[in-house]
Amino acid sequence: MSFNEVYITNTASYFPNSPVSNDEMEEYLGYINGQPSKSKRIVLRNNGITNRYYALTKDRKITHTNAQITAEAVKALLGNDAAKLKNIDLLSCGTSSPDQVMPSHGVMVHGLLPEMNPIEVVSPAGVCCAGMHALKYAYLAIKTGDASLAVATGSERFSALLVSDVFEDEAKKLKELEENPYIGFEKEFLRWMLSDGAAAFLMTNKKNENGLNLRVEWLEGFSFANEMEACMYSASEKQKDGSLKGYMEYTPDEIMNRSILSIKQDVKLLSEHIVPLGGVGLKAALDKHGVKSDEVDYFLPHMSSHFFKDKIFQRLIENGNGIPYDKWFVNLSTVGNVGAASVYLMVDELYHSGKLKPGDKILLLVPESARFSYMYSLLTVC
């Protein structure tokens, strides 16, 4: 059986409202106990983010749903041409912040695009890797001939979970933050890191002869959940034995008073394992496909914080897969951490940058700290 080549023939992104600077953040998210955060300055210094986007007004009114910003990215992908939406035969949408538990995020996006036909819609679950899983589903569908024209998306709308009204008041000690930056990777760290946005890829088995094409060479994924407990979690609370107690086991009052719905990190697990395990997976993926790191022209690693940049760089060298900084392409500082959309947003910015030339190879790396999952992909410009 022969398989089709798979190409990304266009990319697009959508951000709600205007960019929010570091100084404005608490005007949108609110103050906890009416006081400015003592840890904000330190966390921002470590993560290197200067702007992000919120689907909020300054009085904390929601302006967009996740489904809406995703639908806007899809429309931008097709030049806001309603007729072109009818040609899509697969919609694959990844997110970690759906607007509701059910219906799925993907069908809610489909519902906002009435110009589309009745088509297959899929909504991979997960955190940062959800966008890559959406990409892989579309890739495999086109590869096997099950679909001929697909849209894959990654999106997040985290801001509704970060406002002071639903955020637990946990004291942070300035001295501890200075001595150990990882301590900021708890709930409050996430307030100064996460951002809202969406991006979309148009995927097909035929090259666009009049534009830029990114051939998808492969996608590989690794989960270490068989040996690692949960590290990043929401709608649950971690127990002493490392298990998670889900929101359905709490009363409504407990859900609010104990901030069960907020996003949390297990700082110790994150610091010890997120970079080393990612290096293990990357080496395995490159070895499997016979790719040497010096063949890579652009390296797009999704990072939650610039705090990890040097650690990733050094780990790649230790694993024999070193990639010099002049090949890295990262936009974390200007768009923030947009979770499942982050890698899409990097590809989108690079795709439209005018820098790419035929033959360039683009390596994607997406870590997910939830229970230590990783996705990798290689794209070739053609």
Residue carrying structure tokens 């970690």: 96
188 and 332, same structural domain?
no
Q: Supply the pTM of this predicted model.
A: 0.93
pLDDT for the residue 169: 42
pLDDT for the residue 172: 41
36 and 70, same structural domain?
yes
For residue 368, give the nearest of 154, 145, 99 by alpha carbon. Answer: 154
pLDDT for the residue 367: 97
196 and 299, same structural domain?
no
Residues 241 and 222: their CA atoms lie apart, in Å, by: 24
> Is 80 inside any structural domain?
yes
pLDDT for the residue 161: 86
Q: For residue 103, is the peptide bond before it cis, meaning its omega torsion is within 30 degrees of 0? A: yes
> Is 242 inside any structural domain?
no
Alpha-helical runs (H) found in the chain = 25-29, 40-47, 66-77, 82-85, 105-111, 129-143, 174-179, 187-191, 252-257, 267-288, 309-318, 332-335, 342-351
Q: Can you spell out the DSSP letters for 262-273?
A: S-EE-HHHHHHH
219 and 173, same structural domain?
no
156 and 55, same structural domain?
yes
275 and 144, same structural domain?
no
226 and 190, same structural domain?
no
pLDDT for the residue 167: 56
Range of the domain at 79: 7-212
44-75 CB burial, b ≥16 within 10 A, e <16: bebbebebbbbbbeeebebebbbbbbbbbbbb
pLDDT for the residue 166: 61
> Is 367 inside any structural domain?
yes
Cα dihedral 305→155→153→100 (10° resolution): 140
Over residues 317-359, the pLDDT tens digits come to 999 999 999 999 999 999 999 999 999 999 999 999 999 999 9
125 and 35, same structural domain?
yes
Contact criterion met (CB below 8 Å) for 153 and 74: yes
The residue ranges of DSSP E strands in 140-212, in sequence order, are 149-156, 197-204
Helices 309-318 and 267-288: crossing angle in degrees, nearest 10, is: 40
Task: Report which DSSP code applies to 34.
Answer: T
Give the CATH number, domain containing residue 135.
3.40.47.10
Over residues 70-123, the pLDDT tens digits come to 999 999 999 999 999 999 999 999 999 999 999 999 999 999 999 999 999 999
Q: Can you spell out the DSSP letters for 326-358?
A: GGB---HHHH-B-GGGHHHHHHHHHHTSS---T
40 and 169, same structural domain?
yes
pLDDT for the residue 132: 98
> Is 252 inside any structural domain?
no
Weakly modelled stretches of the chain, pLDDT under 50: 168-178, 180-185
pLDDT for the residue 173: 38
Give the chain's domain count: 2
227 and 206, same structural domain?
no
96 and 24, same structural domain?
yes
Which of 184, 212, 240 delimits the end of a domain?
212
173 and 29, same structural domain?
yes
